[in-house]
Protein backbone atom coordinates (compact mmCIF):
# COMPACT_ATOMS: atom_id res chain seq x y z
CA UNK A 1 0.00 0.00 0.00
CA UNK A 2 2.78 2.44 0.89
CA UNK A 3 4.57 1.82 -2.39
CA UNK A 4 1.33 2.36 -4.31
CA UNK A 5 0.67 5.69 -2.61
CA UNK A 6 4.25 6.79 -3.26
CA UNK A 7 3.95 5.88 -6.94
CA UNK A 8 0.61 7.74 -7.11
CA UNK A 9 2.10 10.98 -5.76
CA UNK A 10 5.51 10.65 -7.44
CA UNK A 11 4.54 12.63 -10.58
CA UNK A 12 3.55 15.60 -8.43
CA UNK A 13 6.67 15.30 -6.31
CA UNK A 14 8.65 15.58 -9.55
CA UNK A 15 6.49 18.59 -10.54
CA UNK A 16 7.31 20.31 -7.25
CA UNK A 17 10.99 19.48 -7.67
CA UNK A 18 11.00 21.00 -11.17
CA UNK A 19 9.01 24.03 -10.00
CA UNK A 20 11.25 24.93 -7.07
CA UNK A 21 14.48 23.99 -8.85
CA UNK A 22 13.46 26.42 -11.61
CA UNK A 23 12.90 29.10 -8.98
CA UNK A 24 16.40 28.54 -7.57
CA UNK A 25 17.94 28.37 -11.05
CA UNK A 26 16.16 31.58 -12.07
CA UNK A 27 17.12 33.50 -8.94
CA UNK A 28 20.77 32.50 -9.31
CA UNK A 29 20.97 33.07 -13.07
CA UNK A 30 19.23 36.45 -13.08
CA UNK A 31 20.45 37.66 -9.67
CA UNK A 32 16.84 37.99 -8.57
CA UNK A 33 13.39 37.57 -10.06
CA UNK A 34 12.55 38.61 -13.63
CA UNK A 35 11.58 42.25 -13.95
CA UNK A 36 9.11 41.54 -16.75
CA UNK A 37 6.91 38.75 -18.01
CA UNK A 38 8.39 36.40 -20.59
CA UNK A 39 11.73 34.76 -21.16
CA UNK A 40 13.59 37.52 -23.02
CA UNK A 41 17.19 37.63 -21.89
CA UNK A 42 17.14 34.23 -20.20
CA UNK A 43 20.31 32.15 -20.54
CA UNK A 44 19.77 29.07 -22.71
CA UNK A 45 20.00 26.63 -19.78
CA UNK A 46 17.37 28.57 -17.83
CA UNK A 47 15.14 28.77 -20.89
CA UNK A 48 15.40 25.00 -21.40
CA UNK A 49 14.66 24.39 -17.71
CA UNK A 50 11.57 26.64 -17.92
CA UNK A 51 10.29 24.86 -21.04
CA UNK A 52 10.76 21.40 -19.52
CA UNK A 53 9.05 22.43 -16.30
CA UNK A 54 6.17 24.13 -18.11
CA UNK A 55 5.57 21.20 -20.44
CA UNK A 56 5.77 18.65 -17.62
CA UNK A 57 3.25 20.46 -15.42
CA UNK A 58 0.92 21.14 -18.35
CA UNK A 59 0.82 17.54 -19.55
CA UNK A 60 0.59 16.15 -16.02
CA UNK A 61 -2.32 18.46 -15.19
CA UNK A 62 -4.17 17.58 -18.39
CA UNK A 63 -3.64 13.87 -17.78
CA UNK A 64 -4.85 14.19 -14.19
CA UNK A 65 -7.95 16.22 -15.03
CA UNK A 66 -9.11 14.38 -18.16
CA UNK A 67 -7.70 10.84 -18.08
CA UNK A 68 -7.45 9.87 -14.41
CA UNK A 69 -11.21 10.24 -13.72
CA UNK A 70 -11.88 7.84 -16.60
CA UNK A 71 -9.34 5.39 -15.20
CA UNK A 72 -11.02 5.62 -11.79
CA UNK A 73 -14.39 4.91 -13.40
CA UNK A 74 -13.02 1.87 -15.23
CA UNK A 75 -11.42 0.60 -12.01
CA UNK A 76 -14.74 0.93 -10.20
CA UNK A 77 -16.63 -0.89 -12.96
CA UNK A 78 -14.24 -3.85 -13.23
CA UNK A 79 -14.38 -5.66 -9.89
CA UNK A 80 -10.85 -7.11 -10.15
CA UNK A 81 -9.43 -3.57 -10.50
CA UNK A 82 -11.42 -1.87 -7.71
CA UNK A 83 -8.51 -1.94 -5.30
CA UNK A 84 -6.53 0.23 -7.77
CA UNK A 85 -9.06 3.07 -7.72
CA UNK A 86 -7.73 4.44 -4.42
CA UNK A 87 -4.30 5.03 -5.94
CA UNK A 88 -5.76 7.02 -8.82
CA UNK A 89 -7.88 9.00 -6.34
CA UNK A 90 -4.69 9.78 -4.40
CA UNK A 91 -3.10 10.92 -7.67
CA UNK A 92 -6.15 13.09 -8.43
CA UNK A 93 -6.03 14.70 -4.98
CA UNK A 94 -2.31 15.37 -5.45
CA UNK A 95 -3.09 18.01 -8.10
CA UNK A 96 -4.64 20.64 -5.79
CA UNK A 97 -2.15 19.76 -3.05
CA UNK A 98 0.72 20.38 -5.46
CA UNK A 99 -0.70 23.69 -6.65
CA UNK A 100 -1.25 24.71 -3.04
CA UNK A 101 2.38 23.96 -2.22
CA UNK A 102 3.44 25.98 -5.25
CA UNK A 103 1.81 29.03 -3.69
CA UNK A 104 4.53 29.00 -1.03
CA UNK A 105 7.09 30.16 -3.61
CA UNK A 106 8.38 33.76 -3.54
CA UNK A 107 5.97 36.34 -4.93
CA UNK A 108 8.30 37.54 -7.70
CA UNK A 109 8.67 34.04 -9.05
CA UNK A 110 4.93 33.29 -8.82
CA UNK A 111 4.11 36.52 -10.65
CA UNK A 112 6.40 35.48 -13.51
CA UNK A 113 5.29 31.84 -13.47
CA UNK A 114 1.53 32.45 -13.64
CA UNK A 115 1.84 34.82 -16.62
Determine the Cα–Cα distance for residues 28 and 14; give it in Å rounded to an integer.
21
Percent of the chain residues past pLDDT 70, beyond the cut: 100
Per-residue pLDDT at 115 exceeds 90: no
The pTM (predicted TM-score) of the whole model is 0.93
Helix (DSSP H) and strand (DSSP E) numbers for the chain: 5, 0
Conformation bin of residue 18: beta by default, left when phi > 0, alpha when psi is -120 to 50: alpha
Determine the Cα–Cα distance for residues 59 and 39; give it in Å rounded to an integer.
20
Q: How far does CA 16 lie from the centroid of its chain?
A: 6
pLDDT (tens digit per residue) in 16-29: 999 999 999 999 99
Determine the Cα–Cα distance for residues 80 and 78; give it in Å rounded to an integer.
6
Percent of the chain residues past pLDDT 90, beyond the cut: 90
Number of domains comprising the chain:
1
pLDDT (tens digit per residue) in 6-18: 999 999 999 999 9
CB contact set of 60 (below 8 Å; sequence gap of 6+): 11, 12, 15
Q: Which domain holds residue 73?
A: 2-114
Amino acid sequence: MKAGVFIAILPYLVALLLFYSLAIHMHQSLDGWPERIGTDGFPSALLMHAKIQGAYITYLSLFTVFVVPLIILVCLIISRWRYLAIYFVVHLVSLPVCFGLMQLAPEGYLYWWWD
